[in-house]
Amino acid sequence: MNAEALPANMKAMVMEVQGRPLVSKILPMPVPAAQQVLVKIIACGVCRTDLHIMDSELSHPKLPLIIGHEIVGTVAQLGTEATKLKLGDLVGIPWLGYTCGHCKYCLRNQENLCENALFTGYTMDGGYAEYTVAYQDYCFPLASMYGNPSGAPLLCAGLIGYRSYSMVRQDAKRLGIYGFGAAAHILIQVARHQGKEIYAFTRDGDTKTQAFATSLGAVWAGDSTTASPELLDAAIIFAPAGQLVPKALKDVDRSGSVICGGIHMSDIPSFPYELLWEERMIRSVANLTRKDGHEFLALASQVPVKTETTLFQLHQANEALAALRNGKINGAAVLVM
């Protein structure tokens, strides 16, 4: 029923076991289930979560696994019941790959916490490949301006940043961002569009990233061990470093919130209750809902968010991951197919 001739095989970078580099493979073309579509991948972002999966900081991945959950591509084949998309549609595929719709979390509009969720590039195959399959209801239509590698970082870095930001009081003025990578460089554009003052905290001595933050409009950028020059209304931590939690608590004003945006963080050191006193808050952010995705992608094209990308070919995935691990990427690393 789908006339377009598809190749029989595809290239993919595969994680056979955790703790080892990805392996280049030729795999049979995946076949979409009834509610799925086959997507020809244009680009896939490289995310810190990919490192957490490879390093076994996230357990029980599907194995062997194709990682990658910031996918931009076009619909190349429809499952037998996939009627909501058309061949050729430009879509983005995020981390949230499937939810059950009937667990207690789904029923109270917290599908990001679904007990039966599947995650792209973790419990389902993802985007370090030429093609992938995805459930039609979890593919986001993308504006044509993002139908290229610049759209990929929106699908995780952008979305998780947005969900973290949505936890901040709307009347907050001064916002601290701790860890200025892919998520931060997108969020700062949205937050500035909404009139926030951004204070950017980076690894100590990382003057290059501090200059990058300033170039994107941060009013201040400096080392994460330096006290904030102003008391902040909220802090968002993207760096996976637990010691930043008490540090950020020191930087926030009364009733200020410290939002932990990552999926994994090193242990948080103990700290005096005084730092939390006066109704300061700490909270984590898990996954995303489809509502977050639709809201954020609409906002992104309105700002419009521009992403800074460092491009790698698919077969260079291990190099891209190493560059991310070593803090060598300004903005976001993206694989192009």
Write down the least CB distance from residue 290 to Zn ion, Å.
Answer: 12
Nearer to Zn ion, 49 or 309 (CB): 49
Assess whether the previous peptide bond of 304 is cis (omega < 30° from 0): yes
Write down the least CB distance from residue 3 to Zn ion, Å.
Answer: 35
Q: Which residue has the tokens 């554009």?
A: 189
Judge residue 283's burial from the number of C-beta atoms within 10 Å of its C-beta, 0-12 exposed, 13-18 middle, 19 or more buried.
exposed
Letter for the amino acid at 2? N
Residues 93-122 that bind Zn ion (CB under 5 A): 99-100, 103, 106, 114
By DSSP bridging, strand 252-260 and strand 281-284 are parallel
Nearer to Zn ion, 53 or 258 (CB): 53
258 binds Zn ion (CB under 5 A): no
* Residues facing 43 on adjacent strands: 72, 336
Nearer to Zn ion, 228 or 330 (CB): 330
333 binds Zn ion (CB under 5 A): no
Nearer to Zn ion, 78 or 186 (CB): 186
The H-assigned helical ranges of 167-289 are 182-193, 207-215, 244-251
How far apart are alpha carbons 309 and 134 in whole angstroms?
A: 24
Q: Which residue has the tokens 């892919």?
A: 182
Write down the least CB distance from residue 299 to Zn ion, Å.
Answer: 19
47 binds Zn ion (CB under 5 A): yes
Residues 146-205 that bind Zn ion (CB under 5 A): 156
How far apart are alpha carbons 134 and 119 in whole angstroms?
A: 10
* Selected range binding Zn ion among 48-56, 174-182, 244-252, 280-288, rule: CB under 5 A: 48-56
Which residues in this chain contact Zn ion in the complex, by CB under 5 A?
47, 49, 99-100, 103, 106, 114, 156
